[in-house]
Amino acid sequence: MNASPTKLETLAIDGGMPVRETLLPYGRQSVSEEDIQAVVEVLRSDWLTTGPKVGEFEERFAAWVGAKYGISFSSGTAALHAAAFAAGLGPGDEGITTPMTFCATANCVLYQGAQPVFADVSADTLNLDPGEVAKQLSPRTKAILAVDYAGHPADLDALLALTRQRGIPLIEDACHALGANYRGTRVGGIADMTVFSFHPVKHLTTGEGGMVTTNDAKLAETLRRFRNHGISSEARQRQASGQWYYEMVLLGFNYRLTDVACALGLSQLTRLTENVARRREIAARYAAAFREVPQLIPPSVRADASPAWHLYPIRIDSAKLTVDRGQIFRALRAENIGVNVHYIPVHLHPYYRNLGHRAGECPVAEAAYERLISLPMFHGMTDADVGDVVRAVNKVISSYAK
């Protein structure tokens, strides 16, 4: 499967034999028999939600990432919303974030009635450029929301320096970066609040789910209340103490994660270290395979970072090809390689254009988007799967090379 293709191979899009018989998705969950058994045990227990597995998962997850507190949520988006609330964002405020992300990162600012402000990204990592963030700071700025794009940590020290000067929080959207290291420290306890996602394509899954980690006790308490309708106590606490009385102290939401989901998360947590290691192995193999392909630009890794590789986004050098990114994408899909694109810059979506955003606001992000293709990246990939991706990319690129 790893034999080098030649230009004589007919592409599948032109009627040739595809590299794979079935589609290899860009991401996929891995669920073990132990995971299933853990869920079944909870289904047979007294607590399906707001029970003991929630606190256990939060504590063990926080310890794994190196934070004092973990507060679970029903999704990564819910976790982002809670972080924006805990940061104090409200009408008249601004939150500076990146356009190179899934829309939820910016949407959570809108949920609070505040205004997202987009700063451009660095050309190498496609993470927020602290210099561009500094240009967007204003008296209305109440938070900076960084994203660890593809699993590569943002320039956290530089961004923290900006937030410390202003007395505002840094929210790190680490939904791509569970297990990543920044200057020798796992992400999760560095920013004021760090947000993780447990969607099926992530390093650990609870089906849907998310977590905010923090070292700040007050933020942790606000986050807990926000995810539980703004109520100051939880059902299990009241049952244990034989009490019925509770108070709603803020306007919150039902963003709770169930015991069923947390049981799955706890079981998956036992394999998280090996899952991250496997993603790094795949990334290393991709990097070695594509380093000498002049039409491709593999993702950059800074010396102070060890990415967790949620995505493996390559960039196409269109000047060295006879076709555009769209044709490369279609040709790879025809080879049954489930490539994807991450991301359409948020400010270019119709909803944000209707808010007044326009092309040209973030030229680095916009130029990168035109060239990006995400290759399959998930820890359940076999060596043969990785070989199929390498062969298909080489086959397609060599066919369209100038």
Structural contact between residues 176 and 195, judged by C-beta atoms closer than 8 angstroms: no
Round to whole Å and give the CA distance between 347 and 54: 36
The Cβ of residue 120 has, within 10 Å, a number of other Cβ atoms equal to 23
**Catalytic residue flag (residue 218):** no
- Give the separation between CA 148 and CA 151, rounded to whole angstroms: 5
Q: What is the DSSP string of 151-165?
A: GPPP-HHHHHHHHHH
Token pair, residue 314, equals 């390559």
Extract the tokens encoding 242. Answer: 């034989």
Residues of the chain by 3-state class (helix, strand, coil), percent to 5? 40, 15, 45
Query: From the DSSP assignment, how many helices (H) and strands (E) are in the chain?
Result: 14, 13
- Among the listed residues 202, 218, 320, 402, the single catalytic one is 202
What is the DSSP annotation of 193-220?
EEEEE--TTSSS--SS-EEEEES-HHHH
Cβ atoms within 10 Å, residue 278: 18
Amino acid at 27: G
Q: Which of 303, 312, 316, 314 is closest to 280 using CA atoms?
A: 312
d(CA 242, CA 366): 57
DSSP-derived secondary structure letter, 27: -
CB 258 within 8 A of CB 49: yes
H-only helix segments in 9-155: 33-43, 52-65, 76-86, 104-111, 130-136
Mapped onto helix, strand or coil, the DSSP state of residue 379 is coil
Residue 52, helix vs strand vs coil: helix
Active site residues: 202
